Structure 1
Amino acid sequence: MRRLVNHTPRPTAGFTLVELLTVIAIIALLITILVPAVNAVRVNAQVTATRSTLGSIDTALAAFRAEQRIGGRLPPSASDRPGSPPNNYNLVGNPYESLFSGSGPGGTVQISGAGLLVWALAGADLLGSPGFAPVRSTSRYWAEDTNFGNAGDPGAYFIDNTTSLPKFARAAPFVDLGKVKVTAYNRARLSFDIPAEVEALQRSYGSTQGEQRLNARRQYPMFLDGFGFPILYWRADPAGVALADFDPSANTDPKRRGIYHYADNADLLGWNANGSPNATRPLILRPTRDTTPHKAKYFDYAPPYDPQDHETYKGFWHYVRNESVQSRLMPSNADSYLLVSPGRDGLYGTADDIANFNHNGAHVEND
């Protein structure tokens, strides 16, 4: 006869509350350690990509300079057409007039050094550069002729409908547009949108107000760095004597004519934010409600002609100064050009900027 034996069931395996809390704490600790590390890797990759882009542009500018068919010198960073700030400065013929279908800017567009850099190295339509010289016999300035025009009065960017070829010779793009990013034309918005700026404005103001603030269109393409921010370009003025100025027309004394002119990119930095049809909306590249973050803080221009003023002023003048030259106030790259990326913080004029020279960007904490 088989004896019945009571069996006590074994306890089911599982985690105690203490063990669960321990696991959660370990996971939280790993996240705390890994997230900054992952972010650091991403930022390093963006910095590397930015430096690579600047290197590609350096090489392209050297090739442009060597191309005798389109001038044999560095491309301009400002219009050669006379005009006074703010609305009549840096105006050029608009090669994009047909893109805007009559609802955008008219026969002229207000350009910057950042925009002219693209026109030089890729062409306004990214099909090659015609250079910077008048193409009409009646024109005194190349900036009058950078439009599309028509068969009876072709501009530098006119393309023959019959042959689909440019009317005037182009130099092939000097940059590989598969490797160097450029802002694309958004047909729905009639704008060469900067994706990082669209995101920043929508995060700052919400979708509706953000869209309203984007109504001031980006009227020309710009090269983008590894962070998705525009690269600014200044060409040195061979007639310049002083370190820098706002624009050459502001100086009655030729000894005060700057080697670099802040106005070449001032519109993008907040100088001309008056909302007129030709005005350029200042760049907003990170969430903020400060509509002129560069101008108001780190990258404004006020001419400190006295060297003592320079020591206290921390704007464009200070930013581009070559600190290794002690005998006189001189900018970096006094005989060539400046390329500037705002770096991770999206603010031009700060210490994390990436440039083709040793800049004196401001150190910014908790901004």
Structure 2
Amino acid sequence: MIELLIVLAIIALLVGLLVPALSVVRNMAKETKQKAQFATIELALAAFKNDDGDYPRSDWTPAVFTGDYCGAQKLAEALLGWDLLGFHPNSDFTSNGINNAGVFVYDSSNDILFGQRKGPYLENATADVFTLGSIFWKTGTGSLAANTNVLCDVFHATTVTLPGGTTSKAGAPILYYKANTSGKILNEVYRVTDNDAIVMIKQQADGREHPLGIPNDLNAAFYNYIRDPKITARPWPYRPDSYILISAGADGLYGTPDDICNFGN
């Protein structure tokens, strides 16, 4: 009897050691997969820049706090198209696909407009692209257009319903910020507002505060987060000549140490 209890105690101890180890291995595998996804997105953005002359814009439009189209949504449009059938070079990055000249450039029934499209620069089947409305169907999308797409990270924590009625798992939207290369100070190079709306609706859905969503002293959390510590002469961001990408990581919170980014460590 004593021997059996000893064996059971040893088994329980081994299980207690093994479960956390398996969790660490799982998270490491996810982190590797996320970095691979970012590498693919970076190649796609390079191809977009080659065709369009610059990286896609990321500003929150029409206007901050009331706009319905922000950086994460514009990243998805640039790399996949507003309707996932390719990007139209005459797009002005609007939530309804109508450009500033009043043309619905994503009219898929118009052969001329359709033939002018570029890309898609990513494979739809593997791009982890979902509509905002399908991700945040419980709590809503705030001012953002629910029927627009975003690219999501690989930390699949949310069950979404696809148009055909099937279900899938989605991660958190990937935050995309394009650098203003003419900016002379940190908060001119990158604008916290570009994806502020995404962070806000994610906070609401989670019922938890995200470090990047805390409205503190002039958004210090965000600007400290993207600041390059190797440059000491003045506050200066990582990647001031291109763009930054942010995944919320395994905990689903933007701004915590487990985030995966295309900058820093």
User: Normalising by the residue count of structure 1, what TM-score does the alignment of the two structures yield?
Assistant: 0.60
**8 Å Cα contact 1:122-1:174 kept in structure 2:** yes
Identity percentage of aligned residues = 32
Give the number of the structure whose residues are more often helix, by fraction.
2
Q: Deviations over 1:194-245 (max 9, x none)?
A: 3xx77xxxxxxxxxxxx4x35868442211222122210000113322101x
Q: 1:346: which partner in 2?
A: 252
RMSD of aligned alpha carbons:
2.8
Q: How many residues align?
A: 246
Q: 1:266: which partner in 2?
A: 196
Would you say 1:323 and 2:229 are equivalent positions? yes
**8 Å Cα contact 1:301-1:316 kept in structure 2:** no
Q: 2:202: which partner in 1?
A: 282
Q: CA deviation at 1:180?
A: 2.8
Change in 2 beyond 3 A, CA 1:32/1:172: same
C-alpha distance in 1 between matches for 2:125 and 2:95: 29
C-alpha distance in 2 between matches for 1:266 and 1:330: 20
Q: 1:247: which partner in 2?
A: none
Q: 2:122: which partner in 1?
A: 175
Q: Which has the higher contact order (CA 8 A, sep 6+)?
A: 2
Unaligned runs of 5+ in 1: 1-16, 90-109, 135-141, 186-190, 199-210, 245-257, 271-280, 305-312, 360-367
Which of 88, 94, 99 does residue 130 from structure 1 map onto?
88
Q: 2:180: which partner in 1?
A: 237
Q: Deviations over 1:130-175 (max 9, x none)?
A: 13x36xxxxxxx24695269xxx740111217x6x75461112111
**8 Å Cα contact 2:61-2:70 kept in structure 1:** no
Q: CA deviation at 1:56?
A: 0.5
Greater C-alpha Rg: 1
Matches within 5 A, 1:86-97: 86-87=65-66, 89=67
**8 Å Cα contact 1:303-1:317 kept in structure 2:** no
Unaligned runs of 5+ in 2: 156-170
C-alpha distance in 1 between matches for 2:202 and 2:28: 27
Matches within 5 A, 1:352-363: 352-358=258-264
User: Normalising by the residue count of structure 2, what TM-score does the alignment of the two structures yield?
Assistant: 0.81
Q: What amino acid maps onto 2:105 in structure 1?
A: A
- Partner SS for 2:176: strand
Q: What amino acid maps onto 1:237 in structure 2?
A: N
Q: 2:167: which partner in 1?
A: none
